[in-house]
Amino acid sequence: MSTIRRQSIISSGIVYLGFALGALNTFLYARGLKPDQYGLVTLFQGIGTIIYYFANLGMPTYIVKFFPYYSDHLSVRENDMLGLSMLNTIAGFVLAIIAGILLKPVFVGIYKTNSSELVHYYYWIFPFGLGLTLYSLLESYAWQLKESVLTNFLREIQFRLVASVMLVLVFASVLTNFDVFIKIYAFSYFFIALVLALILVRNGQLRFVFKPSRVTRRLFRKLVPMVLFAWGGLLLFNVSTYFAPLVIAATVPGGLTYAAVFNLALYIASLIQAPQRAINAAASGPLSQAWKKKDYGRIQRIYSRSAINQLIFSLAIFTLIWLNFTDGVLTFHLPTTYLAARTVFLFIGLNRVVDMGTGLNTQIIGASIYWRFDFVTGMILLGLTLPLNYLLALRLGAVGPAIADLITFSLYNFIRWVFLYRKFKMQPFDKRTVYAIVLAIACYAVVHPIFVQYHGFVWIVLRSATYVLLYGAGVLLLRLSEDVLPVWNTVKKRLRL
């Protein structure tokens, strides 16, 4: 667990630094671009991500699940895993392009009324999706090589630096044409994919072997159905995840503007999930090894410790944002249109807390022999998400899909929790779960009345610092996490406290 903790801490630091850069970018987007232009950028991200999950054909799951078998039984010169993954991914992207061409008339019919600019730049979404697809494939492989820190740096910092440079050029009146901006942005993931590929080549870790190995031939009948089911499950899950801004752009008048409002709330809520990204990357390899060895005790430890650690962080970040949301929009002089994002954030943020607090259930199930369950729960999620998002968007506008997602994803996580408990008697919750929730609410109840009448940057800092001190002290005194105390002791030692 110490390896996971170390990589998670380093990666979390990188992720939060990336989020700080992302926050700067979000500020620049909101100030430098019109709301409908910012909304178009966010839809590039959402649709591009769906294209990636369609085009990868389950290859990241194949790498995560079967890498230990390949690395244990094949030399580097014989290992065909990355070569086969790349071939299948390229084939999947060709299918995505064909589907995109065939479905364009349908797309135009849906978006031409409320989001005509999205229709205009339709084909430029595909380079964005291809870059994301190539990078994510290499990222999954690098995780197994214990390069999660590197990949997190590239995704969380390097990618955002590209956008930062472009936005600075906008403010400096060098890049004045939004048409040029969005077309350059379409190729931004290609850049970090190239950087990662060059680093892996330099380290001698990138080798493409296309001749099927003996491991591939032996596992072929097992891995094909597993990978296809896992691919279907993840595709359904991510269509459900990114459906909300798409349905807003299609159904709400001024769709791109309200997609921008929703995305601002979505981005701010993503701060809550920063540790989850780091823990997912660090735990991916150990979980695969643990399932291979049938080490259920280790899986349970990863499950329970990931749940309490993520819950502690998610509750803290959610409450800090909720305390400061309106003050932040006004203090940094964002357009008042974005004040509507606070209510949207409430439901998206609670959704993230639920997801974080249930631990690594997706990764545990995906690495197990019960990978078909991913597909089943994905079907349930999609079947609930699409109609509920659509109906609530029509009735409530941008906040409707946020409420719908809180309902559907909570049910999704509940089903997966029940499955792991009944099948393996694995339980991520204990009394510390209740203590963490009560502690967060109690600290909010103390801090909010004291600072509610004060506004401005200085008061945001004081309000946040007071909450962090109270909440952090409570976490340490209640000993809520086995991983927080060693980190705190290390900090004290380094500071000679």
Please give the average per-residue pLDDT across 331-353, as a whole number: 87
Asked whether 442 and 473 are in contact (CB, 8 A), the reply is no
More confident residue, 202 or 254: 202
pLDDT digits (tens, 9 = 90+) for 364-416: 776 667 767 777 777 787 788 888 888 888 888 888 888 998 998 899 889 88
Least confident of 227-236, 306-315, 451-460: 227-236
Separation CA 327–CA 227 (nearest Å): 47
Residue 43 token pair:
């839809």
- Residue 5 reports pLDDT greater than 60: no
What Å distances lie between residue 205 and 4, 54, 76, 145, 462, CA to CA?
21, 26, 8, 8, 47
The rounded mean pLDDT for the chain is 82
H-run or E-run covering 210: none
Separation CA 163–CA 482 (nearest Å): 38
- pLDDT band with cut points at 50, 70 and 90 for residue 10: low
pLDDT of residue 11: 61
Residues 248, 253, 256, 261, CA torsion sign: negative
What Å distances lie between residue 357 and 275, 304, 327, 401, 432, CA to CA?
12, 10, 27, 21, 11
pLDDT of residue 95: 93
More confident residue, 319 or 282: 319
pLDDT digits (tens, 9 = 90+) for 193-250: 898 888 888 887 788 888 888 888 888 887 788 788 778 777 877 787 788 888 888 8
Q: For residue 427, give the amino acid letter.
A: Q
Least confident of 131-135, 147-151, 212-216: 147-151
Rounded to a whole number of angstroms, the CA Rg of the chain reads: 22
Map tokens 């349905």 to a residue. Answer: 247
- Residue 485 reports pLDDT greater than 80: no
Asked whether 400 and 392 are in contact (CB, 8 A), the reply is yes
Separation CA 67–CA 76 (nearest Å): 12
Domain ranges within the chain, ordered by starting residue: 2-429
Please give the average per-residue pLDDT across 84-106, as a whole number: 91
Tell me how far apart the terminal alpha carbons of the chain are, to the nearest angstrom. Answer: 26
- Residue 2 reports pLDDT greater than 60: no
Asked whether 47 and 125 are in contact (CB, 8 A), the reply is yes
More confident residue, 249 or 335: 249
CA-based diameter of the chain, in Å?
Answer: 69
Q: Crossing angle, helix 255-270 and helix 296-331, to 10 degrees?
A: 130
Least confident of 12-21, 114-123, 168-177, 448-457: 12-21
- Residue 285 reports pLDDT greater than 60: yes
User: Within 10 Å of residue 448's Cβ, how many Cβ atoms?
Assistant: 14
Please give the average per-residue pLDDT across 177-195, as a whole number: 87
Tell me how far the alpha carbon of residue 442 is from its chain's centroid.
29
- pLDDT band with cut points at 50, 70 and 90 for residue 434: very high
- pLDDT band with cut points at 50, 70 and 90 for residue 489: low
pLDDT of residue 259: 84
DSSP collapsed to 3 states, 50-79? HHHHHHCCCHHHHHHHHHHHHHHHCCCCCC
Map tokens 């410790």 to a residue. Answer: 305
Q: Where are the beta strands (DSSP E) in 121-205?
A: none
pLDDT of residue 101: 92
- Global pTM value: 0.70
- Residue 94 reports pLDDT greater than 90: yes
Question: Which residues are CB-contacts of 386 (< 8 A; sequence separation ≥ 6)?
Answer: 240, 243
Least confident of 135-139, 144-148, 387-391: 144-148
Map tokens 């990868």 to a residue. Answer: 56
- Residue 495 reports pLDDT greater than 60: no
- pLDDT band with cut points at 50, 70 and 90 for residue 467: very high
Q: Nearest 5 degrees, angle CA 39-CA 180-CA 398?
A: 5
- Residue 288 reports pLDDT greater than 80: no
pLDDT of residue 348: 92
- Residue 260 reports pLDDT greater than 90: no
Map tokens 């509507």 to a residue. Answer: 340
Q: For residue 306, give the amino acid letter.
A: S
Residues 427, 428, 434, 435, CA torsion sign: positive
- Residue 1 reports pLDDT greater than 60: no
User: Within 10 Å of residue 167's Cβ, how many Cβ atoms?
Assistant: 21
